[in-house]
């Protein structure tokens, strides 16, 4: 039998340390994913604890529940109460009363499930339909963005969300090649228009795919909404632990933490972002780009 793949959450031990999980506390995993972080939090909470899990991806939620059922079978009567919320984490304030949680963790990276399944359309590593929606139940697809935006709009979003310097050249090539319906087609068009340059360590389509994915899922807007509401949800001394995977995300977190520190709302616990050590990067290459920042409510 093929062994069951093991999901490896990034910066797990560091996240647990900064989250300061206490038995009997109330914690939020704002990005449940495949329950890597949540399963570890549950083991520390005990039967009096409560864990609230958000994820807008229905497929990820179903798989995470199955994993958490395994944890419950393992822990027996020491399993904390787990509440599943099938919504975006930007809506946390609509689900949680102010001043009621001891900590909130969010891992803003795309989940392994989304990247590894070709039919979700997140990755150019294997061919699939251009979808990229985290919530497959609604919203604009990547195919619609690629084929319906005008050239200037495409160039602007590739530059802004992908930090791609050759955005205008790529946008022009995309418009000329339309209609484009698969990840492989899009990757080919980008690679021809803007081939890898000497010293490049990433595929030439990486930044453009990131940009389209951010646009489709309003990822930066979601993070901004969470940053605005998280402080009000935490109890005094509650912890906020956020893991970013690219500079746009990290900049939002860094700026929000500085503003909250200046307003004497939070104490920033990480003077510099926490990154994975060499051993974790070898075990889990995805962790190489992860940056974690943590703060405590005053």
* Final residue of a structural domain among 217, 249, 278: 217
- Please state the pTM of the whole predicted model: 0.93
Per residue in 126-166, pLDDT tens?
899 999 999 999 899 999 999 999 999 999 999 999 999 99
Environment class of 250 (CB within 10 Å of its CB; exposed 0-12, middle 13-18, buried 19+): buried
Same domain, 99 and 232: yes
| Those residues with Cβ within 8 angstroms of residue 261's Cβ, 6 or more apart along the chain or in another chain | 267, 268, 295
Same domain, 59 and 179: no
Same domain, 118 and 211: yes
CB-based contact 85:54 (threshold 8 Å): yes
DSSP string across 61-89: HHHHHHHHHHHHHHHGGGPPEEEEE-S-G
Average pLDDT over residues 6-29: 92
Domain CATH for 132: 1.10.150.170
- Of the pLDDT bands very low, low, confident and very high (cuts 50, 70, 90), residue 7 is low
When comparing pLDDT for 170 and 2, which is higher? 170
Per residue in 62-104, pLDDT tens?
999 999 999 999 999 999 999 999 999 999 999 999 999 999 9
d(CA 208, CA 185): 13
For residue 48, give the DSSP letter.
T
> How much is the pLDDT for 110?
81
Same domain, 16 and 107: yes
Environment class of 137 (CB within 10 Å of its CB; exposed 0-12, middle 13-18, buried 19+): exposed
* Final residue of a structural domain among 217, 235, 254: 217
Same domain, 142 and 268: no
Same domain, 170 and 223: no
Residue 1: inside a domain:
no
Same domain, 24 and 168: no
Average pLDDT, the chain: 94
Residue 3: inside a domain:
no
* Final residue of a structural domain among 217, 240, 275: 217
Residue 138: inside a domain:
yes
Locate 28 and state its tokens: 């939020």
Average pLDDT over residues 256-273: 97
* Binding site listing for S-adenosyl-L-methionine: 35-37, 55, 89, 107, 114
d(CA 176, CA 284): 38
Average pLDDT over residues 189-193: 97
Q: How many domains does the chain have?
A: 2
Locate 29 and state its tokens: 């995993």
What is the percentage of the chain residues whose pLDDT exceeds 90?
Answer: 85
* Binding site listing: 35-37, 55, 89, 107, 114
Average pLDDT over residues 37-47: 97
Query: Is residue 194 reached through a cis peptide bond, with omega within 30 degrees of 0 on the bond before it?
Result: no
Same domain, 49 and 123: no
Same domain, 138 and 93: no
- Of the pLDDT bands very low, low, confident and very high (cuts 50, 70, 90), residue 2 is very low
Same domain, 105 and 149: no
Residue 7: inside a domain:
no
> How much is the pLDDT for 1?
38
Domain with 145, as residue range(s), is 114-217
Per residue in 213-242, pLDDT tens?
999 999 999 999 999 999 999 999 999 999
């Amino acid at each position: 039998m093929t062994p069951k793949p093991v999901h490896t959450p990034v910066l797990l031990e560091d996240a647990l340390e900064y989250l300061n999980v206490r038995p009997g506390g109330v914690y939020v995993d704002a990005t449940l994913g495949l329950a890597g972080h949540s399963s570890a939090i549950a083991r520390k909470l005990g039967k009096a604890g409560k864990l609230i899990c958000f994820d807008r991806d229905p497929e990820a939620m179903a798989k995470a529940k199955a994993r958490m059922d395994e944890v419950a079978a393992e822990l027996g009567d020491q399993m904390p109460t787990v509440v599943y919320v099938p919504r975006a984490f930007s809506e946390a304030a609509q689900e949680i009363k102010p001043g009621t949680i001891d900590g909130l963790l969010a891992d803003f990276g795309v989940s392994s499930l989304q990247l590894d399944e070709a039919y979700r359309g997140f990755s150019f590593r294997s061919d699939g339909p251009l979808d990229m929606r985290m919530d497959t139940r609604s919203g604009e697809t990547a195919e619609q963005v690629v084929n319906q935006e005008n050239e200037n709009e495409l160039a602007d979003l590739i530059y802004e969300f992908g930090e791609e310097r050759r955005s205008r050249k790529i946008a022009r090539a995309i418009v000329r090649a339309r209609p484009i319906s698969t990840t492989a087609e899009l990757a080919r068009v980008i690679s021809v228009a803007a081939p890898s340059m000497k010293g490049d360590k990433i595929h030439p389509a990486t930044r453009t795919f990131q940009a389209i994915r951010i646009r489709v899922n309003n990822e930066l807007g979601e993070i901004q909404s969470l940053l605005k509401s998280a402080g009000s949800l935490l109890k005094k001394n509650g912890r906020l632990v956020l893991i970013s995977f690219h500079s746009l995300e990290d900049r939002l977190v860094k700026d929000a933490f500085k503003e909250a520190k200046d307003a004497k709302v939070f104490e920033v616990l990480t003077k510099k972002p926490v990154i994975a050590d060499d051993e974790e990067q070898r075990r889990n290459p995805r962790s190489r780009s992860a940056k974690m920042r943590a703060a405590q409510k005053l």
